[in-house]
Every structure is written in C-alpha cells, then in structure tokens.
Amino acid sequence: MLSIFLDGTKIGEQDLGIGTLDSSELPLEIGRDVPGSTEYLNGMLDEIYIYSRALSDAEILARYPAYSISGRVTNDSGIGASSVTLFSSSGDSITTDASGYYTITNVVTGTHTITPTKSGYIFAPITRTVSVPPSSTGNDFRIRPIPTRFLTLPVTTTNSSQDAIARVNSWFDHQSPDYGHDYQIRKWEGGTPLSYPPGPSDDPDHFCTLQTNCYGGHNGIDFSKRNPDLNVDEPVLAAYSGVVASTLITNTSYGNRVWINHQNGYATLYGHLKSISVTVNSPINAGQHLGIMGTTGRSTGIHLHFGLYYDKDGNGQWTEDEVVDPYGWFGTTAAWAWNNPAGQFIPNGQLWNFAILPDQATGPSGGTLPSPSGNGNAIIPSGALTTTLTIRFGDVSPVAVPSAQLRTAGRSFLLQVLEWLGISQSQSVRRPRSSFAQPVTLQVTYGTAETRHFDTSQMKIYYWNDTTTAWIALPTTVDTNLKTATAQTTEIGNFDLQAPLLCPADSQEIDDNYYVAKTITTDGVSANRLFDIAQDEDWLKLNAVAGQRYLIQTGNLASGVDTVLQVYDLDGVTQLALDDNSGGGKASRLLWQAPQTGTYFVRVSQAAGSAFGCSASIFSIIQGKVARVTIFMREKRG
C-alpha cells in the first residue's frame, strides 16, 4: 500500500496491485509509463511526498536528516598524514587534508565501516565501525609505514639463517594461534596443515614430533638452548631496540617475562625466563641482554617463548589477538585471518632482518645454490633453464610428518623458481607450474647425532607431492663415510631426508632429551623401550602429585643390560633422585616422593658396559593402587 503526502499531510493511499516486470519494461525511468501495476513497485515504494513549492536546504535536512563521520589520521608522533583515502561501506570516500583531518558528509542512518588506505602504509585500527545518528567524531587512525625486516634472533647465534630453523622446537600455528587443541599445525611455509593424533588424556598439549617438538595452537616461537645437555646459562637478547614496557616475576603462564615496546607498532615478549636483568622504562638496544633462558611458568623444559605482537587498534597495548609470526606467511591464503577474534587481518610479513629463504638469479649455464645452513646444495646443470630465473633454495622444516616407519633426519629444503609460480619474493605457494629441462642434483649432508637411531643404509631424499599429499622417495645414493645423500629431481617443491629406525620395535625414538620426552601414564599399561645403540637413553615425562610416593624401577632386563635411573625437576637439569642397581642384579629401583604437583622427567640410561641392540628391551611404567610407578625391563628377541 502506497501512502501519499501533500506538503507533509497524508491525503490518501493507493494499492499498486500485483504484476510483473518483463525485460521490455526495464530499466525503469522517471516519466515513463509502465504497463500495469507491479509487485516490484509495491516492494520499493511505501510513501510519496509531494510539495507545492521548492524546499530550502534547511527544510530538506530537517525532513531527511544526514549525518557526518569525521576523524584524523596521524603517525606515531601525532603528526597528521595527508592524502590518505578513507572508504565507507556505503560507497562514499574522502581524502585527508594537509593536517590529516577528514569528514565524510551526507551519511545516512545506519552502521558504516570506515577503511583507510595509502600505498606503502598500514593502519591501526585496520577499520572502524561507526553507527549514526548522531554524527560521529574522533574516528582516528594511526598510520605506519609497512615494516621492513627489523628483528634479530633473540638468542646467541653464529648463523642466523641456520639457527632460525634448527633452534626452534615449537612453531607459530597459522591454523589457530589461540592455544586451541585441534591436532593440526600450519606453519609459516604454508601448504597442507600438519596433523598428529591426540595424545593421552593427561597430556592435552600432546607434542607432535618433527625431529623437535611442536603442538597445535601455539601463538609464538619457542627457541631451545644451544646445547640442552650442558648445565650452562644461556642469555636471552632483545630482538630490536625499544623501551621495556613491563616485567613480571611469576610461575604462571609465560612465567618470568619481559615486554619490549619497539615504538613502531610492534612489541615482543620473552617468556619462561630464569632471571630478568632489565627494569621497566629502560631504553633497550638490539641484542642487549634481557635475562637468562629458563623454564618458569607453564613450561616443560628450558626454552625461550618469543612472542611478537602488532598493536592493530593503536591503543598502545598488546593482547593475545594481536599476535604475529616473525617468519611471515608464505601461503596463498590469509591463514587464520577469518577466525581472528577481532575479525581483522594483522600484517604478517617476514620480519627477520636476514634471509630465511635466499634467492639467486640463475641462467642457462646453471650454478650451485647452497642452503643457509650449509647442509644442502641444489646443483642446477647447464641446460636446465632456458633463461635467467630467480631460484629460491633454503632450509625449512618438513611440510608434513613422515610415515610411521620413517623419521626425518633434520634436513629439509624448499626449492622454487619464483617466475614459474607467478609470485613475489615475499610469498610462496606449493604447486609448481613447470619443471627443469634437466635433472637438478640435491646433495644433503647429514649429521651423526641426528641419525644415530636410523638405518642410514636405507636413507632416501623424499619429495612432497602436493596432489597426492604424500612423500615420494627419490633414488638416492648414500655415502656413509662422507655422510652425504644425493638424489636428482626435475620438480620444485619440498624435499626431506628420511630413514627408518635401526630398531622399529622401539617406536618412541627419538627420546634422548627431556625436551623430546614422551608422556607416560601411571595406569598400569606397560611401554617397552630399547637401548638400540651405545649411549642411548630414554626420557619420559611424568605428571606427579605432591606428597605421593612413586616406586620407579626397571626389571626383566635382557641379557647384559644394565640401567641407571634418575628423576629430574621440570628444568631437565636439576637431579632429584638417582639409583643404579637397587632393583636386583643390574636393575634400578627408586622410591621417590613428589615434592609438589607438576611435571617431572624420568631418565633411563646405560651403565658402563651395558648391552645394547634391538634385542635389548628396556622398560615400562606402571602405577599401582598406592601410586606406585614400576619400570619393567623386558627382553624382546628378534
């Protein structure tokens, strides 16, 4: 029903009837007769106002009010930014004046989203949502240049590119950096999320093992000690200059921690420190000593939790929904942007001031590209390329875990030709669009420590097939004297050196340090282990209750096996209990009372002269009804 008004007074109503519009009647035009009445017009028109005279601007505004949205765009020093264009979700736009001010006029009643933009800059907040009426003022934005790479590693290093990969034992999870436990990890290289099975009920974090630990939901980067086996303090260093925003001494969450405001919109967090050597409001230089790496707070071993935050709303504070990965994001989508609690994407470029994945121009004559770690070479032969192209070859972590029968040897690489992918040098994708005309030789050097539990005679270089989402073995030549593995490929993508275990029966390897300790339950279920090589040892993570006494012992030893049993505090360094042969013969036995509720580590190592090998089965841990933990050493033949 259409209501008709004359000079503001309703004079009647008119039913427009029901009809349809066909293509010959479109578009609708003022003054044009439309045959028949239409349901379409009924839906468009509710009221018509007719005036017998022309209305003044004031009368029009009084009858049909419009509002304004205004504010200012300034830099971190409070200086106005000119030539910033602000777009409204209603379709309007305006540009800031010389002092950074803007006013969007004739805004109709409703809710509007205002988005600033200027080439080469980012803004905080990224958008503002404004409702009118009334007219809205003070809708300010902070403008900052898109950051260059400014961060150094927060740990001591002689090779930043190598340590930026090798010393990380837990990565930023781009799948959901909110400590949610979805049993998936999506790392900075992009591609398929890593999946891992849920752990036992007493271990909700349940690490997945990619040679070193990682777990879903992590919102920062964990750096390990340079040598976890040495009881030596390791300093934590400022990743960039700034001012100490806060310090906190506590045994909860991130433990003892330091926050640094870098005065460029970013702040860094240094968590789990053993001690702190700086004070609030102190100026800080890049590389300055902040404290000692520790394991305070919610931690299961000495490490540094390094967090990077971007102040996306410009309020001078940093919250858990403002986390950023300093490694950037090399995938093809914005990763977790769609479920960011604030609904806004945080700029997430690579921010280390050194090359993680170096690029090199290579022509038809070929060339050799070493990885930053020095552990790999990509040898491009003459004729592999028909023109000069940009090749990227660098150390990464495995894009996916190996099969259950294999382990990664800690040598994983990404080989790309950027022009084939149609991408910039700051991004990456997985699926190649072309291949080399001649096979490229991949030469990998492996270490003794990383492969001590492996059958290196069966070691191969594997290629990750994105289409089938599987590792494909390449024909590989292994030189056990030079400790090299060599293979050829015409593909670009991800490659990983993998091998089977020496003793497949001991499926829990590698577990030779507290930071790769596997959680053991105390419910009576046995868990066999092996001394597969000389100096092999096994670490287990035990959740104990304050005041309860635990009987920890080895038993049923295979011939010649001699064990030493130790209990360590959460730091993996402080020994709480030790026994060699109290279990009868060469078995070990400890009756130990937990001083407080928490996580402890049990270490089973070989006494001098102990037998080892695939038939030297070791132990299980069982809890009896009186909170006893028993470790049985069982012989397994074959």
Place 473 in a pLDDT band, splitting at 50, 70 and 90. Answer: very high
| Single pTM value for the model | 0.58
Helices within 231-366 (DSSP H only): none
Last residue of a domain, one of 145, 170, 200: 145
Q: Which residue has the higher pLDDT, 492 or 4?
A: 492
| pLDDT of the residue at 49 | 67
Looking at residues 490-501, what average pLDDT do you find?
93
Looking at the structure, do residues 53 and 71 belong to the same domain, yes or no?
no
Looking at residues 214-240, what average pLDDT do you find?
84
Q: HSE of 455 in the Cβ direction (CA atoms, 13 Å)?
A: 11
What's the CA gap between 576 and 583, in Å, rounded? 18
Q: Taking a C-beta distance cutoff of 8 angstroms, is the pair 147, 124 a contact?
A: no
* Strand partners for 14: 2
Proportion of the chain above pLDDT 90, given as a percent: 34
Radius of gyration of the chain, Cα coordinates, nearest whole angstrom: 32
Choose the most confident range, by mean pLDDT, from 5-19, 207-221, 269-283: 269-283
Task: Judge whether residue 150 has pLDDT over 50.
Answer: yes
Looking at the structure, do residues 213 and 326 belong to the same domain, yes or no?
yes
> Does 152 map to a domain?
no
Looking at the structure, do residues 368 and 491 belong to the same domain, yes or no?
yes
> Does 345 map to a domain?
no
Range of the domain at 545: 514-631
Place 572 in a pLDDT band, splitting at 50, 70 and 90. Answer: confident
Q: Taking a C-beta distance cutoff of 8 angstroms, is the pair 261, 248 a contact?
A: no
If DSSP codes are grouped into helix, strand and coil, which group holds residue 421?
helix
**For 95, which DSSP code?**
E
Q: Taking a C-beta distance cutoff of 8 angstroms, is the pair 160, 153 a contact?
A: yes
Paired sense of beta strands 168-170 and 221-224, if any: antiparallel
Query: Cβ contacts of residue 226 below 8 Å, gap of 6+?
Result: 155, 156, 167, 234
CATH number of residue 604's parent domain: 2.60.120.380
What's the CA gap between 609 and 606, in Å, rounded? 8
Looking at residues 20-48, what average pLDDT do you find?
49
Choose the most confident range, by mean pLDDT, from 352-361, 407-416, 516-525, 582-591: 407-416
Lowest mean pLDDT among 159-163, 236-240, 569-573, 614-618: 614-618
CATH number of residue 411's parent domain: 2.60.220.30
What's the CA gap between 263 and 76, in Å, rounded? 8
Looking at the structure, do residues 173 and 294 belong to the same domain, yes or no?
yes
Helices within 381-459 (DSSP H only): 418-421
Task: Judge whether residue 503 has pLDDT over 80.
Answer: yes
Residue-averaged pLDDT of the chain: 79
pLDDT in tens, 91-133: 889 999 999 999 999 888 889 999 898 888 878 777 889 999 8
What's the CA gap between 307 and 309, in Å, rounded? 7
Looking at the structure, do residues 365 and 490 belong to the same domain, yes or no?
yes
Q: Taking a C-beta distance cutoff of 8 angstroms, is the pair 515, 212 a contact?
A: yes
Q: Which residue has the higher pLDDT, 334 or 480?
A: 480
Task: Judge whether residue 192 has pLDDT over 90.
Answer: no
What's the CA gap between 487 and 441, in Å, rounded? 6
Paired sense of beta strands 621-623 and 93-95, if any: unpaired
> Does 506 map to a domain?
no
Looking at the structure, do residues 164 and 39 belong to the same domain, yes or no?
no
Rounded to 5°, angle at Cα 85 from 83 and 89 = 170
Looking at residues 475-498, what average pLDDT do you find?
95
| pLDDT of the residue at 215 | 60
What's the CA gap between 359 and 424, in Å, rounded? 11
Looking at the structure, do residues 219 and 274 belong to the same domain, yes or no?
yes
Looking at the structure, do residues 325 and 432 belong to the same domain, yes or no?
no
Q: Max CA-CA distance within the chain?
A: 113
Task: Judge whether residue 182 has pLDDT over 60.
Answer: no
Last residue of a domain, one of 444, 465, 500: 500
> Does 428 map to a domain?
yes
Looking at the structure, do residues 53 and 77 belong to the same domain, yes or no?
no
Looking at residues 618-634, what average pLDDT do you find?
43
Q: Taking a C-beta distance cutoff of 8 angstroms, is the pair 295, 301 a contact?
A: yes
| pLDDT of the residue at 137 | 95
Q: Taking a C-beta distance cutoff of 8 angstroms, is the pair 96, 86 a contact?
A: yes
Q: Which residue has the higher pLDDT, 312 or 493?
A: 493
Looking at residues 478-498, what average pLDDT do you find?
94
Looking at the structure, do residues 41 and 86 belong to the same domain, yes or no?
no
What's the CA gap between 280 and 494, in Å, rounded? 44
pLDDT in tens, 263-293: 988 999 999 999 999 999 999 999 999 999 9
| pLDDT of the residue at 337 | 45
What's the CA gap between 173 and 329, in Å, rounded? 11
Rounded to 5°, angle at Cα 424 from 421 and 426 = 120
Place 624 in a pLDDT band, splitting at 50, 70 and 90. Answer: very low
